[in-house]
């Protein structure tokens, strides 16, 4: 038994980690001219994946079983640089299919012409060698997983299962960066030394950008909370309005605080800044380099300069921003725009709640708003003019300061808006980036690796997430009055229908202008927080519940949606934690029933003997399956469980179920809240076409769709496979996977990972003639049941739950398939097979 279990686990491991790469080839037209390239042919996770580029309207990948096609849509600037406008910006493609026997081919369509390029068949010997190469790493990882495996054998708990999957590399997502409450530590109360020179110098180089100047400079005057000298350098702007306006504006200011330097000709950003440095060094104070498109909030200067004043070895400090590369929020390296007034709203929301904010050493500062220690500026008094008119010069300065022992810090406690590109032109910026990045890489070979390490480890993540949540909370509705709501979903990290539904809802939220936040449980840390935005996702994890609440309660009005808490390490506390997220008068709470966890710790409602006997009575229950022991050893009865979750039901604005069957079960447990129940059947996530009927003489093959664990019917499949192996009455084919704890007979075929689009081809490959839904629990809704029904093949299920109702209704309508009693022994199992193969 143990050897079969280990073999089953190895099969999943080898399938996930095995890689087989084949060389690509040039794509030539009929005249021999190059019009594309297959860069990479990869066999991975049971799929054939082809990557490349093509100058074509459509590109496709086909096998004997299936074809996929799409328009090239991936940005390939390298191709554009080689082939110019002929290639366009988005000529790249990635196509994939389930790996099939026999050759495959890539084809492209250009106008009325279709060109086909064969891919040699992947030989079985190559696949066998790929599999054998996974034995040593599997043995290593099994040893790493053994403590978690022993814990799982003792407790059969979800947390141990997660650790096993992590050790074996079978998780679907990489682990997020951990955060802690240090990001919100109170301000340093050490007395600050006086400012050298008695004030700071703020250098603003100006080139065009007339429309922004009044706001940028007005904010400096109103919001700077340290004594300052504002040094403006006008760089011969082409816009004739700029210089006269500046002269007039400066004439209205205190001349001791504002200086205007005028370039006779356009010198560019670097030489203009260097003029400012000369003046600032005479003042003798710390310097802030501020772009003419940077908008500062109230009280910005003291926050930005505090790290330099506290620590003499700090060479530069850069705040968070919407456009400052590694200091961006809500998503690192992704630029975003702020609405008018949003900066001030974000700052008002967080300025008093971030404390000192995180201070993280970074490989460079960003010159849009960068504080510079005057001692390092004396040693390095200029930006290097070899960088032309700008871009990369602050990287060079920061790296030189680093070589002198200086630290370049990112400051999480301040956010400065950057409109981007106004200082020296957006188009110019792109060109200078390409030229000067080569210089930086040559001078500082480790710089790129330092940047990638910063991005990967993200030491500013807690602050980035806080500013991202503030960004989401202050977006407001669009011009049509739509969107602007933050929607927090508590969902588990175990895959399946609940997670797919949460992902679908998140996509719809983004489309509607709302911001979804996934609060995941069941991972290696108790909480995973995922802030989804139109430009990307920011993810973090923590075990600190108070920190999680502090972050999410930065949002003053939100909708909290309980989706699924199965797998959480302390589920008895979940209702009160969710209630703590709904303290605001504008907060809304919804409960979704993807399972019956709010009814019982046995979220499937199975008793201890793995049998469903209806909704258990809270006051009279004696079955330990419906009880719980908390992490601190306290026994929780079903009555206590219902009381805790009942408080959540009482606060909820809506209880959403996905079938009439589910509505009846929830109402039986919480009759006082039945009026809140709304039945909303799921929309299918994928379209599965109706398939041709099998030939009358086709050998019977019972198909099972999905990933099958105990509750989904793994014991039924184990016993069924053994029966069929003895009788030969039918074959069993699982499109998906089966829990290795319930190994099937060798004659059963288990395909492994699949995508819904693969179903027609896989039905044909395995010759499936009917489907079995082997779940032994009442499903609230079953996506796989509806996918099976959509194929038009007969579908059989046990007579319980939403799946039983759907199959029974379909059988009455179509005259095929039907519901069956759950088999209680070999005789029932044989009768089940007889029913499924009779037609």
The per-residue pLDDT for 360 is 94
> Has residue 634 got a pLDDT over 50?
yes
Fold for 479-679, please state it.
Answer: Rossmann fold (3.40.50)
- Torsion from C-alpha of 126, 129, 130, 133, nearest 10 degrees: -160
How confident is the model over 92-98, as a mean pLDDT? Answer: 91
* Rounded CA separation 537/331 (Å): 6
- Torsion from C-alpha of 645, 651, 653, 658, nearest 10 degrees: 0
Query: Over the chain, what is the mean pLDDT?
Result: 91
Identify whether the C-beta of residue 316 lies closer than 8 Å to the C-beta of residue 401.
yes
* DSSP string of 30-72, one letter each residue: TTS-EEEEEEEEEEETTEEEEEEEESSSEEEEE-SS-EEEE--
Tokens 């022992």 sit on residue: 405
The per-residue pLDDT for 424 is 45
- Chain-centroid distance, C-alpha 298: 33
- pLDDT tens string 537-550: 999 999 999 999 99
Query: Do the domains 479-679 and 701-837 sit in the same CATH topology, yes or no?
Result: yes
Residues 6+ apart with CB under 8 A from 146: none
- CATH class of the domain comprising 196-463: alpha beta
Residue 738: strand, helix, or coil? strand
> Has residue 125 got a pLDDT over 60?
yes
> Has residue 720 got a pLDDT over 50?
yes
- Identify the sign of the CA torsion 413, 418, 423, 425: positive
How confident is the model over 642-658, as a mean pLDDT? Answer: 97
| Cβ neighbour number for residue 60 with a 10 Å cutoff | 19
Measuring CA to CA, how many Å separate 791 from each of 282, 302, 763, 773?
A: 80, 66, 9, 14
The per-residue pLDDT for 76 is 81
- Kindly report the pTM of this predicted structure: 0.86
* Rounded CA separation 420/424 (Å): 9
Dig out the tokens for 637 from the structure: 């009865």
Whether a cis peptide bond, with omega within 30° of 0, leads into 63 is: no
| Cβ neighbour number for residue 174 with a 10 Å cutoff | 7
- Identify the sign of the CA torsion 397, 401, 402, 408: negative
* Residue 492 φ/ψ region, left for φ over 0, alpha for ψ in the -120 to 50 degree band, beta for the rest: beta
| Cβ neighbour number for residue 191 with a 10 Å cutoff | 6
- CATH class of the domain comprising 701-837: alpha beta
How confident is the model over 608-635, as a mean pLDDT? Answer: 94
What are the extents of the domains in the chain?
A: 19-126, 196-463, 479-679, 701-837
* Rounded CA separation 223/365 (Å): 22
Fold for 19-126, please state it.
Answer: Immunoglobulin-like (2.60.40)
The per-residue pLDDT for 190 is 76
* Rounded CA separation 744/722 (Å): 7
- pLDDT tens string 510-530: 999 999 999 999 888 999 999
Radius of gyration over alpha carbons of the chain, in Å? 32
* Rounded CA separation 208/425 (Å): 9
> Has residue 652 got a pLDDT over 80?
yes
> Residue 348: which pLDDT band, with cuts at 50, 70 and 90?
very high
* Rounded CA separation 546/527 (Å): 11
């Amino acid at each position: 038994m143990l050897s079969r279990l280990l073999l089953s686990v190895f099969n999943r491991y080898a399938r996930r980690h095995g890689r087989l790469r084949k060389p690509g080839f040039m794509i030539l037209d009929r005249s021999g001219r190059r019009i594309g390239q297959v860069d990479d042919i990869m066999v991975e996770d049971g799929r054939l994946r082809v990557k490349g580029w093509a100058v074509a309207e459509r590109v496709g990948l086909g096998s004997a079983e299936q074809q996929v096609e799409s328009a090239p849509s991936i940005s390939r600037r390298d191709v554009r640089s080689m082939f110019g406008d002929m290639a366009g910006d988005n000529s790249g493609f990635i196509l994939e299919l389930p790996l099939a026997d026999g050759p495959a081919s890539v084809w492209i369509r250009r106008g009325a012409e279709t060109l086909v390029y064969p891919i040699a068949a992947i030989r079985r010997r190559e696949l066998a060698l790929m599999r054998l190469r996974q034995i040593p790493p599997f043995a290593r990882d099994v040893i790493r997983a053994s403590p978690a495996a022993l814990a799982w054998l003792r407790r059969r708990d979800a947390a141990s299962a997660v650790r096993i999957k992590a050790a074996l590399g079978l998780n679907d997502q990489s682990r997020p960066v951990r955060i802690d409450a240090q990001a919100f530590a109170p301000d340093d109360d050490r007395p600050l030394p006086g400012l050298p020179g008695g004030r700071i110098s703020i250098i603003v180089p100006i080139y065009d950008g007339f429309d922004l100047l009044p706001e940028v400079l007005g904010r400096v005057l109103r919001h700077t909370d340290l004594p300052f000298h504002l040094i403006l350098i006008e760089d011969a702007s082409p816009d004739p309005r700029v210089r006269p306006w500046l002269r007039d504006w400066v004439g209205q200011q205190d001349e001791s605080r504002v200086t205007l330097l005028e370039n006779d000709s356009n010198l560019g950003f670097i030489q203009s800044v260097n003029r400012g440095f000369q003046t600032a060094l005479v003042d003798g104070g710390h310097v802030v380099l501020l772009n003419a498109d940077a908008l500062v909030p109230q009280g910005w200067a003291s926050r930005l300069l505090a790290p330099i004043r506290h620590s003499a070895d700090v060479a530069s400090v850069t705040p968070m921003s919407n456009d400052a590369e590694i200091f961006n929020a809500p998503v690192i390296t992704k630029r975003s725009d702020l609405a008018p007034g949003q900066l001030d709203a974000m700052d008002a929301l967080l300025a008093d709640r971030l404390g000192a904010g995180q201070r993280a050493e970074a490989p460079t500062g960003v010159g849009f708003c960068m504080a510079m220690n005057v001692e390092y500026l004396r040693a390095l008094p200029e930006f290097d003019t070899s960088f032309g008119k700008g871009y990369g010069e602050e990287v060079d300065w920061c790296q030189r300061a680093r070589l002198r022992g200086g630290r370049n810090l990112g400051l999480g406690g301040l956010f400065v808006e950057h409109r981007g590109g106004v200082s020296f032109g957006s188009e110019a910026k792109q060109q200078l980036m390409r030229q000067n990045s080569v210089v930086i890489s040559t001078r500082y070979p480790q710089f790129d690796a330092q940047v990638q390490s910063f991005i990967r480890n993200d030491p500013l993540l807690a602050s980035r997430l806080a500013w991202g949540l503030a960004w989401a909370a202050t977006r407001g509705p669009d011009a049509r009055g739509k969107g602007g709501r933050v929607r927090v979903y508590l969902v588990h990290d175990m895959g399946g229908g609940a997670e797919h539904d949460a992902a679908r809802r998140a996509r719809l939220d983004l489309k509607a202008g709302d911001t979804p936040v996934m609060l995941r449980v069941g991972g290696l840390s108790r909480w995973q927080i995922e802030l989804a935005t139109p430009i990307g996702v920011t993810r973090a994890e923590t075990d600190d519940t108070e920190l999680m609440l502090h972050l999410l309660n930065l949002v003053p009005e939100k909708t909290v949606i309980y989706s699924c808490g199965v797998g959480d390490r302390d589920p008895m506390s979940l209702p009160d934690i969710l209630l703590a997220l709904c303290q605001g008068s504008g907060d809304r709470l919804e409960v979704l029933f993807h399972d019956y966890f709010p009814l019982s710790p046995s979220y499937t409602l199975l008793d201890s003997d793995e049998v469903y006997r209806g909704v258990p009575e809270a006051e009279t229950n004696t079955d330990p399956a419906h009880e719980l022991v908390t992490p601190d050893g306290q026994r929780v009865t079903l009555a206590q469980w219902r009381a805790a979750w009942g408080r959540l039901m009482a606060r909820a604005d809506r209880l959403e179920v996905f079938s009439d069957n589910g509505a009846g079960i929830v109402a039986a447990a919480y009759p006082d809240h039945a009026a809140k129940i709304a039945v909303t059947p799921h929309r299918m996530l994928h379209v599965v076409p109706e398939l041709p009927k099998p030939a009358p003489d086709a050998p019977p093959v019972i198909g099972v769709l999905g990933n099958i664990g105990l509750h989904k019917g793994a014991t039924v499949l184990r016993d069924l496979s053994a029966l069929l192996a003895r009788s030969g009455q039918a074959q069993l084919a699982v499109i998906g996977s089966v829990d290795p704890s319930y190994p099937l007979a060798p004659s059963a075929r288990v395909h492994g990972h699949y995508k819904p689009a693969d179903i027609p081809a896989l039905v044909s490959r395995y010759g499936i003639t009917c489907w079995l839904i082997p779940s032994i629990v009442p499903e609230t809704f079953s996506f796989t049941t509806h996918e099976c029904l959509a194929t038009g093949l007969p579908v059989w299920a046990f007579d319980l739950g939403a799946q039983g109702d759907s199959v029974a209704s379909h059988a009455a309508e179509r005259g095929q398939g039907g519901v069956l009693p759950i088999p209680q022994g070999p005789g029932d199992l044989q009768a089940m097979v007889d029913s499924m193969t009779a037609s």
